[in-house]
Structure 1
Amino acid sequence: MDHLACFTPADLAGRTPPDLGSYRWKLLAQGDSWFSNARAKLNAHANLLQELVFKSNTVAVNCAGTGNALSHMVDLESSPEFVQLLTGPGAPVWDGVLLSVGGNDLIAAARTPAHNWNGEPIPLELRLLRRQTEWGPPSAGVARYFSEPGWTTYADYLRANVKHLLSLRDQGPSAGKPVFMHCYAVPMPRPAGAESSDELGSSGPWLYPALKAYGVPAADWAAVSRLMVFHLAQLLKSMAADKAAFPGLFVFDSTAVPLALAAPGSTGISGDWHNEIHLNHSGCFKIARAWSEHIEMVLEGKHLIPVPTGRKGRGSSNS
Structure 2
Amino acid sequence: MPQKKSSKPKTRYQKFMAQLRRNQRDGKGRPLVLSEGDSWFAFPKELRPSTIDVVDKELDLVLMRLEANGDEVSAMLTGKQRQRLKWYLKRWPFDILLFSGGGNDVVGDKLYPLINTVSNSAPWEEAINKEAMDAAFTLIEFHYRELIDIRNTLRPNCQIITHCYDYPIPREDGSIQCLNQGLIGPWIWPALNEKGLTDPQKQRKFAKWLLQQHRKVLKKIEAQHPNFHLVDTAGTLADDEWGDEIHPTKNGFKKVAGLIGEEVIKHFPTAK
- Interval of TM-score (by shorter of Structure 1 and Structure 2): 0.7 to 0.9
Determine if contact 2:16/2:62 at 8 Å carries over to the other structure.
no
1:202 and 1:151 map into 2 onto residues whose CA distance is: 28
Determine if contact 1:110/1:207 at 8 Å carries over to the other structure.
no
Residue equivalent to 2:48: 45
Determine if contact 1:260/1:272 at 8 Å carries over to the other structure.
yes
1:108 is displaced (CA, Å) by 4.2
Residue equivalent to 2:98: 98
Q: Describe the SS at the equivalent of 1:111.
A: helix
Residue equivalent to 2:40: 34
Deviations 1:257-285 (A, max 9, x none): 2x221xxxxxxxxx112211111211011
- The 1:71–1:20 alpha-carbon spacing in structure 2 relative to 1, beyond 3 Å, is farther
**What are the within-5 Å matches in structure 2 for residues 7-156 of structure 1?**
8-12=12-16, 18-21=21-24, 22-36=28-42, 41-52=44-55, 57-64=60-67, 68=69, 70-77=71-78, 78-79=80-81, 80-87=83-90, 91-108=91-108, 111-112=111-112, 127-132=113-118, 141-156=123-138
1:197 is displaced (CA, Å) by 8.6
- TM-score when scaled to structure 2? 0.81
CA RMSD of aligned residues (A): 3.1
Determine if contact 1:273/1:280 at 8 Å carries over to the other structure.
yes
Residue equivalent to 1:306: none
Residue equivalent to 1:274: 243
1:230 and 1:72 map into 2 onto residues whose CA distance is: 17
Equivalent residue for 2:166, pick from 174, 185, 204: 185
Determine if contact 1:132/1:215 at 8 Å carries over to the other structure.
yes
Residue equivalent to 1:311: none
Q: Describe the SS at the equivalent of 1:52.
A: helix
Quick one: which amino acid aligns to residue 249 of structure 2? N
* Equivalent residues, number: 253
- The 1:99–1:128 alpha-carbon spacing in structure 2 relative to 1, beyond 3 Å, is same
- The 1:56–1:8 alpha-carbon spacing in structure 2 relative to 1, beyond 3 Å, is closer
1:86 is displaced (CA, Å) by 1.2
- The 1:18–1:131 alpha-carbon spacing in structure 2 relative to 1, beyond 3 Å, is farther
1:241 and 1:198 map into 2 onto residues whose CA distance is: 41
Equivalent residue for 1:248, pick from 189, 210, 227: 227
Unaligned 5+ segments in structure 1 are 1-6, 113-126, 262-270, 301-319
**What are the within-5 Å matches in structure 2 for residues 186-225 of structure 1?**
186-190=167-171, 191-196=173-178, 203-219=184-200, 220-225=202-207
2:168 and 2:69 map into 1 onto residues whose CA distance is: 22
- The 1:106–1:299 alpha-carbon spacing in structure 2 relative to 1, beyond 3 Å, is farther
Q: Describe the SS at the equivalent of 2:104.
A: helix
RCO higher in 1 or 2 (8 Å CA, sep ≥ 6)? 2
Runs of 4+ more than 4 Å apart: 53-56
Determine if contact 1:128/1:151 at 8 Å carries over to the other structure.
yes
Equivalent residue for 1:231, pick from 210, 213, 217: 213
1:145 is displaced (CA, Å) by 1.5
Residue equivalent to 2:4: none
Unaligned 5+ segments in structure 2 are 1-10
Determine if contact 2:100/2:163 at 8 Å carries over to the other structure.
yes
**What are the within-5 Å matches in structure 2 for residues 289-308 of structure 1?**
289-299=258-268
Determine if contact 2:34/2:64 at 8 Å carries over to the other structure.
yes
1:178 is displaced (CA, Å) by 1.2
